[in-house]
């Protein structure tokens, strides 16, 4: 039976290319983005769904980019849209680093934990069970290029993602991957991934999924 994997995230799941300027709308192709590469790595028997929204936060409506950037109601909608889901990957939190939200890495991990608990208390998996969850800590940001001021202070805070997300995964009993141990953010804008990093992330996620019984 085909296994469904839902990749829930922000612009780095959407496949946004590193921004050369603030109005840069380039997006990597389906075969270059990490969910697409993941699908090829996993092969037959798996259905990989992209749910990446640029600017998506964990739980914060964005007063500038849009109230719909709040990841919690989006997650609830995605769970019902794609049921049954065998596994959901969650990689969010980078956009929470924007100074307008006023939160640090530990608070962000508590917010992403709320998303995880939403999944594990749902009936969106096979036979009315909850899907399994792979929580992915985003890599640190660099405060570079056209996004340097928008993510002011984020470089220091984001270094804590791996540790705090690992604790959130332990508290909720879900699987965990620290993307920062496998990839780096692009020096072009300090936030998005170069195409080669998408390939590395897909490999790391595929290797992790291979250890999970679905």
Average pLDDT, the chain: 98
**What is each CA distance from 187 to 13, 19, 178, in whole angstroms?**
18, 10, 20
Phi, psi of 169 (to 5 degrees): -65, -40
Name the residue ranges covered by the structural domains of the chain: 3-209
**Structure tokens given for 91:** 């990689």
Distance in angstroms (rounded) separating the CA atoms of residues 164 and 208 = 19
pTM confidence score: 0.98
pLDDT in tens, 99-115: 999 999 999 999 999 99
pLDDT of residue 195: 98
pLDDT in tens, 80-97: 999 999 999 999 999 999
Please give the CATH superfamily to which domain 3-209 belongs.
Answer: SGNH hydrolase (3.40.50.1110)
**Structure tokens given for 75:** 């997650």
């Amino acid at each position: 039976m085909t296994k469904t994997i839902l990749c829930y995230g922000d612009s780095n799941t959407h496949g946004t290319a590193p921004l050369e300027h603030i109005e840069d709308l380039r997006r990597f192709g389906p075969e270059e983005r990490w969910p697409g590469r993941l699908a090829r790595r996993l092969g037959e028997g798996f259905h990989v769904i992209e749910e990446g929204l640029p600017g998506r936060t964990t739980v914060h409506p964005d007063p500038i980019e849009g109230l719909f950037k709040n990841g919690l109601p989006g997650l609830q909608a995605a769970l019902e849209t794609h049921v049954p889901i065998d596994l959901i990957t969650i990689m969010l939190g980078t956009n929470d680093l924007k100074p307008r939200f006023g939160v640090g890495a530990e608070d962000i991990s508590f917010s992403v934990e709320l998303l995880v608990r939403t999944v594990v208390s749902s009936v969106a998996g096979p036979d009315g069970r909850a899907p399994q969850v792979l929580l992915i800590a985003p890599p640190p940001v660099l405060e570079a290029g056209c996004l340097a001021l928008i993510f002011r202070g984020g470089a220091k805070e984001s270094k804590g993602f791996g540790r705090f997300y690992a604790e959130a995964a332990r508290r909720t009993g879900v699987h965990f991957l620290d993307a920062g141990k496998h990839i780096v953010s692009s020096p072009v804008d300090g936030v998005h991934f170069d195409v080669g990093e998408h390939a590395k992330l897909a490999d790391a996620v595929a290797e992790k999924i291979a250890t999970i019984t679905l």
